[in-house]
Amino acid sequence: MALGEQSGRRRRRARIRIRPVYVLFSALLAGATLIGAVYATQGASCPKALAASAATTGQATHYMLTSGGGNCSYPGPPADGLFVALSPGEYASGAACGEYLDVTGPGGTVRVEVIDQCPECAAGHIDLSETAFARLAPLVKGIVPITYRRVLNPTPPGPLSLRVKEGSSAYWLALLVMDHGNALTRVRVSSGGGAWHDLTRASYNYWIYASGLGSGPFTVAITDDQGHTATVGGVKLEPGVVQSSTVYMYGAGSTAIEPTHTATPSHSASASAPPSASPSASVTPSTTSAAVAQSSVAASDTTSGASGVTSRSAGCL
């Protein structure tokens, strides 16, 4: 059993949902639809998450996330407590992780980050944090009609940060990218200035290179579905450590540099975990509200610095 699958089930059991029982049987129909090089998004494929211009009419319930950062594997929920879990179709095997939605209900509009999946939710049914739900209606309502829309190019909560998964080694690498704002479509890694290698996203939101890329340090090239690319250099092979950078996923004053060449992986990038890996027990928050300039790092984690550049490039193909 893959490490992410174990963690995902544990998170689902940890979630306490508070909603009328009949909601669980509803079936709504909803319309919707660290130093390195920056590269163009040739060959990248778009995630099957919420369409850019789609507005969805549906319903919202609320829940408590008792530990961790949901199925997206973040070390913890956003510091402002505003987050959402999506139905399996909209979660799209992790493609929606880190996006933001504007949700409008009876009492106003709230912006929330996608950090989790709601396995029992039908399309158009979202599960909000209690803090977010309370912006729309009293918690005692339990369920309210809402509309929601994906936010394009939201203000990132801070510069990019990365986390190397427990169990990673010179022979198996898994990276979590945080604070990117839009959906990610591609992550590539270069070690020691060598060729670029494409990683594959697992449903628990880590990007995997199954055969490993050595002992690092690594340069990580990141692309989102709005055509932004960024590189973060100096990423160390330090499992369980949140490594902060000074690089924002998008912003003014960025320049483009073409990469040298992309290697064809010797293995297809499997999302399976190494046999010796064990699930992380970390539950301390690391993501921050949009008003904070630096990503918050869990108190139990060691922080490593990283550097890089950001750039605009061609859109998702």
Instruction: List, for residues 200-215, the tens digit of each pLDDT value.
Output: 999 999 999 999 899 9
235-246 residue pLDDT tens: 999 999 999 999
Q: What is the CATH number of the domain that holds 93?
A: 2.40.40.10
How many Cβ atoms sit within 10 Å of the Cβ of residue 156? 22
Amino acid at 151: V
pLDDT of the residue at 174 = 97
**Mean pLDDT across the stretch 101-123?**
97
The reply to whether 97 falls in a domain is yes
17-61 residue pLDDT tens: 444 433 333 433 333 333 333 333 333 334 444 445 579 999 999
The reply to whether 54 falls in a domain is yes
The reply to whether 229 falls in a domain is no
How many Cβ atoms sit within 10 Å of the Cβ of residue 253? 6
185-196 residue pLDDT tens: 999 999 988 899
pLDDT of the residue at 198 = 97
Task: Count up the domains in the chain and report the number.
Answer: 1
The reply to whether 144 falls in a domain is yes
- Percent of the chain past pLDDT 90, that is, above it, reads 58
The reply to whether 172 falls in a domain is no
pLDDT of the residue at 202 = 97
pLDDT of the residue at 110 = 98
pLDDT of the residue at 53 = 55
**Residue 251's pLDDT band (boundaries 50, 70, 90)?**
confident
The reply to whether 232 falls in a domain is no
Instruction: Determine the distance from the C-alpha atom of residue 89 to the mean position of all C-alpha atoms in its chain, rounded to a whole number.
Output: 16
155: pLDDT strictly greater than 50 = yes
C-alpha separations of 281 from 81, 116, 165, 264, 272 in Å? 20, 17, 12, 34, 19
pLDDT of the residue at 310 = 40
199: pLDDT strictly greater than 80 = yes
- Mean pLDDT across the chain: 74
**Residue 66's pLDDT band (boundaries 50, 70, 90)?**
confident
Amino acid at 143: I
The reply to whether 92 falls in a domain is yes
Report yes or no on whether pTM surpasses 0.75. no
Task: Give the domain range for residue 77.
Answer: 3-20+49-150
pLDDT of the residue at 305 = 53
259-315 residue pLDDT tens: 444 443 333 333 444 433 333 322 222 333 333 233 332 333 334 455 544 443 333
Instruction: Name the β-bridge partners of 62.
Output: 18, 128
pLDDT of the residue at 265 = 37
**Mean pLDDT across the stretch 114-140?**
97
The reply to whether 227 falls in a domain is no
Closest by alpha carbon to 158, among 258, 314, 285?
Answer: 285
**Mean pLDDT across the stretch 251-255?**
46
